[in-house]
Amino acid sequence: MNLSATTFDLDNARACAVWSAAAYQQSTISDAATATYCVVHEDADCIIVAFRGTACIRNWVTDARFERITLVSGVDGSRSKVHKGFNAAWNAILTQLFHTLGDTANAHACKPLFITGHSLGGALAVLAALALQRNGFPIAQVYTYGQPRVGNGDFKRRYEAAGPAGSTLGDRTFRVVYEEDIIARVPHLPSLSDPYRHVGTEVFLPSFGVGELVINPSLWYLLASDAWGTYRAWLISKFAGALDPIMDHHVNNYVRALTNLPDKTSPLLS
């Protein structure tokens, strides 16, 4: 892992994607009641914490309810609210994770942490990064793949401001989105006045422009990618099953797309 990276790093993104995929096959920490699983892998100079996503994303999209719970209340009346289910899953394993990483009193002695996860695992990675940061653990970078939104606008502000000035979590969090992955675009509800919001920097792998990474793509760029992706699926299958935005969500798409990028690839601005 590149510990000196201060921006998106392709090698770090590749490694974290591989560990996000591995979390579907193995676990260091688990809670059966909430089906929450996490891999903690220690290298010579860092520790990778990878959270597993849901086993059946289609059921989650169909059945999930997007109620929120207040995580932090500010003296000014502000409230950081997060997805109730995500928070319950995180709370189910946080004690185990802190125990595995070591006493919070000695958090400064912990090796730099790379926090990662795919799908709902990406949402857990965000909650974990904030909690670990606030308890003094050194967060090197956060990489998520196909991650749904976690909390409201106040949560976004608190998350992105966490950490010392000039080196906040907002600067070190990279949310990778593959083509028309629909999970990265939910949930928006429950309130139009205070919707769910993404945190960190979006790194988009578009349907067109093979070999490209786009930083914080505009709405028009996303729509153009959607249009091309739909047309391409029609050409391939004539709508015989390939036109399915949930198919784009599979973790293997992320691993493959990042692996196939040229090593010198630099993110572009749309």
Catalytic residue among 27, 80, 119, 225: 119
Catalytic residue among 181, 207, 225, 248: 181
Q: Residue 266, Cβ neighbours under 10 Å: how many?
A: 11
Say whether 119 is catalytic.
yes
Say whether 266 is catalytic.
no
Active site residues: 119, 181
